[in-house]
Structure 1
């Protein structure tokens, strides 16, 4: 690993939240598109039944801690009352042109006590000034300022790198807006990021999940924005949609519970954060099939992990000794690292039994915010955990008897990605 770099309090809080919901919504939702070129008519946006409160209830019901909304996608259509362009909700019939999706979602999040964040695409296919980087810098900074000053605290600001190859954004100006108005927000991927993309849109991380990364491990956008820093604490976020598409389509359907469980094991269960997209219909509501699937998934999650078996953890020389208060039967184990002084565990091994009966039941590299291992069910009273890494320290060990000795896998034909450098 690179030299130890410690996280900020904000980064630790974000990691501990573990799970948020993404909401892709806009003109694409009304035209069956994933990407559009900024020429779709603004007056086609009319979500007659939009209910931000219902969106947020689904966020709470599934156990997510925040919601990230696409305030502006690549087509340039703005979901708030902006002074920068007429290509916005102000030019639509929805709420007689006076509606503000960002405001309604932000208010619903505040009332529910969850975090709110925004996605503001740097690439804008509608803005006439986009071909003039200096003019667009002013345009984009004004849009970001509106979002940073009108809707309360933002937990996350999401910068998508799509479509931006070769374009030089004024990140110094953009970062200054965030520093002035939303200094506590996590910044995703570009500018001066505090969290990074995992490297795929399948919701899966791979071992090791490193929080301290160098330039060569990052995308061109993120690496270029690191200035003189050779290494930075940048925990990864795994973004994936509950459906095949990011926007709602009538011929699409939600992933199975097993597929979603595989995503959970491959993201949160690997020590990364998960951002699951749920796209509203053109009416402005979550599809009932998606809501049902979220509830089924959460029920399965709770069934497996809703009855934790706590253990006493103490250091014993080069090992951590884990003692349960009485013999327990477990088939899953969750480990959590003490991260306030940085990520330090580089490898770990879990051993059950003693002497000739000792057996390694799980092993891996990083632990981080949380690592979940599955293994054949066994009765244990004590475990030994060997960790590598200078100053490595476990914070928590929890056992579970879930009735599932193997981790669910994505559907046949799905190729698990690696946490590779972003190109």
Structure 2
């Protein structure tokens, strides 16, 4: 009993000392651009690597049972990730060192749920940083704060905060200089969320002053400091939102900056700070982690996302997932290189003839034309945002979308992508000169990743996408047509 009391006393004293250290923390976010921030802004394009337990359990949110040994890459090649990033024209990489399962990709001494107890004991973090340095890429770590399904249910918010600090200490003292620490779900740190984030920021800066701190705000454009209701392991603890603050970098998860561009001078609580922005998105249609039923999105979509991010003053962090072997699949590598070709040679990208043209449709979801009208499918806004698609009522099985081209245009190529993968047959039609329509292309499925089709050049003043069979109300992300060569 005396021994147990002594251990408890030591634990209380240790935690009290930690708490005193935390209360003394003071954030110091830059009011003007620093050399470190300027260097980060010049990186512009990076590779996001989602890899870990979720790759093997095929669940991104830690809901399925998992054992440490479930993580077992069969042919891990971290150098291949870096080679791919370099060939794709990227300047930095960010690796998910801990995600929703709480499984660490390094042998952390503060947890029993790490690569050290897994089916492949490689210190992935160590190899990742070494590969980055070999290929002249800046290394960054993604670290999940909230929704940690392994550790949070076993700890109080105070204990979990200390655990986070202990793991961050390992990451920032054992692997050399790190460019960015990318924290996800920051609002899930307990009732004292704001205080916890301030203490975490100060802790990171005490270990590596030049390591930039990113707090993910979610699906916003990065132009402000968002507020969220503090929670712990997904359970709201108050009714009063708190600011996700402090941080060096803002982000937009699958949301690009406004057309005027990102303004890094952000006002917050009576002061103005210099906070650059980053847009992150995934090359996969459905997931951040690899899954057999996911597909890579078209190169043109990713090029547009890059253009709308970098061209509007933000960095662009594009996610590509290694599979269960531990390597990025060949088709994904191929797509990344295709994207680079478009970035390096934008003159090869032809503008869609449909942008800005009047469009009509046979049906619009609940009649809400402003939100789900046909113009939402032809605007070339390719972010995965529910407001940028043409949607129809659930019971609809056939539908059409027609666009007035404003006069005769000659074209021979179209791209399409859809949400929910419902289309089973469609036609591209032009007027037949007798008051009807004739098909210039017939197809079956469209799918989320989209399709790129060519046909004999045709001249017309209108075009119609006619969906002739669908398992439910069709909903189209994007519809574009392109002029024939020489036009």
Q: Contact 1:260–1:297 (CA<8 Å) still a contact in 2? A: yes
User: Residues 293-332 of structure 1: matches in 2 within 5 Å?
Assistant: 293-304=335-346
Partners in 2 of 1:38 and 1:163 — Cα distance? Answer: 23
Mapped contact 1:38–1:77 kept (Cα < 8 A) = no
1:100 counterpart residue number: 123
Distance in 2 (alpha carbons) for counterparts of 1:205 and 1:55: 31
Instruction: Kindly report which structure 2 residues correspond to 1:20-419, keeping only aligned pairs within 5 A, or say none.
Output: 20-37=46-63, 39-94=65-120, 97=121, 99-123=122-146, 124-128=148-152, 131-161=155-185, 164=188, 167-169=191-193, 170-189=196-215, 191-198=245-252, 200-202=253-255, 205-215=258-268, 230-244=271-285, 245-304=287-346, 411=417, 413-414=476-477
Q: 1:58 to 1:288 in 2, by over 3 A?
A: same
Helix, strand or coil at the partner of 2:477? coil
Structure 2 residue runs of 5 or longer lacking an equivalent are: 1-29, 216-243, 352-413, 419-475, 479-487
Larger radius of gyration: 2
In the alignment, is the contact (CA less than 8 A) between 1:37 and 1:126 conserved in 2?
A: no
Q: Following TM superposition, by how much is the alpha carbon of 1:135 offset from its aligned partner in structure 2, in angstroms?
A: 1.1
1:259-311 deviation line (CA, Å, top 9, x unaligned): 011111110111111000011101100011110001111112222279xxxxx
Please provide the CA RMSD for this pair: 2.5
Task: Please give the alpha-carbon distance, in whole angstroms, between the structure 2 residues aligned to 1:19 and 1:262.
Answer: 13
In structure 1, C-alpha distance between the alignment counterparts of 2:270 and 2:154, rounded to whole Å: 30
2: CA distance, partners of 1:136 / 1:166: 9
Q: Give 1:161 shift.
A: 2.2
Contact 1:23–1:70, Cα closer than 8 Å, also in 2: yes
Cα distance, 1:213 vs structure 2: 1.4
**Which structure carries more relative contact order (alpha carbon 8 Å, separation 6+)?**
1
With normalisation by structure 2, the TM-score equals 0.57
Mark the CA change 1:32 to 1:205 in structure 2 (over 3 Å): closer, same or farther: farther
Does the CA contact (< 8 Å) of 1:106 and 1:116 recur in 2?
yes
Change (3 A) 1:29 1:299: same
Q: Distance in 2 between matches of 1:233 and 1:90?
A: 40
List runs of 5+ in structure 1 lacking aligned partners.
Answer: 216-227, 307-330, 332-407, 416-423
Q: Deviations over 1:162-204 (max 9, x none)?
A: 6728643423432232112211112112553111012x42556
Q: Residue 409 of structure 1: CA displacement? A: 9.6
Q: Distance in 1 between matches of 2:89 and 2:137?
A: 10
Does the C-alpha gap of structure 1 residues 110 and 22 become closer, same or farther in structure 2, counting only changes over 3 Å?
A: same
State the alpha-carbon separation in 1 of the partners of residues 203 and 415 from structure 2.
42
TM-score, normalised with respect to structure 1: 0.65
Residues in 2 aligned to 1:213 and 1:30: alpha-carbon distance in whole angstroms: 40
Give the 3 Å change call, closer, same or farther, for CA 25–284 of structure 1 in structure 2: same
Deviation at 1:139, TM superposition (A): 0.8
What is the CA deviation profile of residues 54-75 of structure 1, one whole-angstrom value per residue up to 9, with x for unaligned ones? 1000110111111000000122
Cα separation, 2, equivalents of 1:252 and 1:117: 26
Change (3 A) 1:260 1:172: closer
- Confirm or deny: 8 A CA contact 1:38 1:75 kept in the other structure: no
SS in 1 for 2:112: coil
CA separation in 1, counterparts of 2:170 and 2:246?
19
Deviations 1:324-368 (A, max 9, x none): xxxxxxx9xxxxxxxxxxxxxxxxxxxxxxxxxxxxxxxxxxxxx
